[in-house]
Structure formats: structure tokens, C-alpha cells
Amino acid sequence: MRSHELPVAVQRLLQGSSVELMTDGCTAAQVYRIEQDGRCMYLKMQSLADTPSLHVEARILDWLQGKLPVPEVLVYVADDRYEYLVSTEVAGQNGVRAMATLRAEALVELMASGLRMIHALDPATCPFDAGLELRLMQARANVLNGLVDETDFDPERLGSTTAQDILAALERERPATDDLVFTHGDYCLPNIIVRDGMIGGFIDWGRAGVADRYNDLAIASRSIRYNLGPQYEQYFFACYGLEQVDAGKIAYYRMLDELF
């Protein structure tokens, strides 16, 4: 990254700072950690063609200020090729790194309590739609434009299922009802921040909005299965407060996530 190619507003923030490219996460954006005068910031940079848009994430973060512990937007700007988002740091470790010091049960409990915090926000006040109709429209576009990485499918579909197969199944098996709440959209261990054994905050909000709570429950429980083990999935649901788990919706929303 050469600073003279960056927009002026971003260059100003980078003056006198050290910059480190981050390799955590699965976002399309390049993410840089910026240290300057004893404080840390993060710069996300991605092509205007990539989704979700950093402009959407900036708007969501602005709306969440004072509601949840999330980064504060310092700069959002775009040029003719790229968009840039600079935000403050949420101090702590992400959930994957916290695995080195916290018991699996404690992390599951934090995941569940954090998700309850997010879902407790009033969806009637949220201006952002992330519902199934919109997500299916985006999924169709991703399949049509060849943007789905079929080598990154979950094990049960890897090598035996195409993006077209998944899209057809999603259209055919769409749930009959929605349980709408404010959702994170990509609620997984890398996107929660743990500090002193407690929830420090939440990051990566580009897919947030009003949607079925099972979108978050499906992705969160898959993250727990992958990182901590399948034996902790039911414990997560119990900590969240689900008396009965809709296994069909869990499967459906995990399948939907394959196309993003």
C-alpha cells in the first residue's frame, strides 16, 4: 500500500503511523492495523465492485453508536476504483485468539450473551434490511456473476454441490415464516472481541440489518462447531435461550451463507 495513492483524508490519518496488514478474517477487503500516538485504528480498503459495500458498513456503524460496543467511523471515502473505511479499535482479542486463554464453555457463553445483546435491539427502529428476499436476490447475482467460491463450501457440500444446486434448493426450501430481529449477519468467533473475559465489542457489520434470527444462530453455531467442536452447539443454543431448535432453519441459513 503506497500512501500517495490513497485519498487525502486517509493520508492525513496515516501520517506518522505504523501500518500492518492483517490476515485474520474472510472479508474481501484488505485490512490494515494503524498505530499512531498510542492509539490503534483499522483501515479497510476494497474495490467498489466488492460486496458488502464499506459505505453500508459505515452507515450501520454510525447507527449503532451508543447502542452496542462497536468501532467508531473516523473516515469513509471512495475514489473511482476503491472505497476506504477507517475506524477505531475495539480493544481486546477476537474470539479465535481468545481460545488460547478461555475455556470453550466460557467462549460459548460469551457468544450467546453477545448475540442476545444484538437481538435485543428494536428492529422497528432499524433502517437496514437484511431479510431473506434481499439476501436471495444478492445470492442470485453472486451465482450469475460467478462470484461464489465453490472450493470454500462446508464439508457436506464440498465437491458434490454447485452454486446453482444451492440456489435451486434455497428457492425450493424457503422457510414459511420469519422471526425478525436486528441481526449481525456474520456472527462468528472472529467477529466478537473479548476483553478481560467479557464481551468487549463486535466488528465486521457489513451484512447487518433486520432478518430472521436464525441467520445469526446458524452462522454462530457453525463457527462454534468448526472452532470448538460439535459438542458445544447445543450448549450454545441453551445459553442463548432456545428451548427448541429449528434444525431446518439452521440448515437453510448455513446453505444460504455458502453463496456469499
Positions annotated as catalytic residues are 186
Q: Is 191 annotated as a binding residue?
A: yes
Q: Is 80 annotated as a binding residue?
A: no
114, 90 Cβ separation under 8 angstroms: no
194, 227 Cβ separation under 8 angstroms: no
What is the C-alpha separation between 43 and 22, in angstroms, rounded? 10
Q: In angstroms, how far is CA 161 from the centroid of its own chain?
A: 24
Instruction: Quote the strand ranges of 89-164, DSSP E.
Output: 93-94
Q: What are phi and psi of 196, to 5 degrees?
A: 55, 40
55, 206 Cβ separation under 8 angstroms: no
What is the C-alpha separation between 73 and 205, in angstroms, rounded? 12
Angle between helices 213-227 and 104-119 (to 10 degrees): 170
- One-letter amino acid for residue 44 of the chain: K
Site of grid cell 485519498 = 7
Which segments are annotated as binding site for Mg(2+)? 191, 204
Annotated binding site: 191, 204
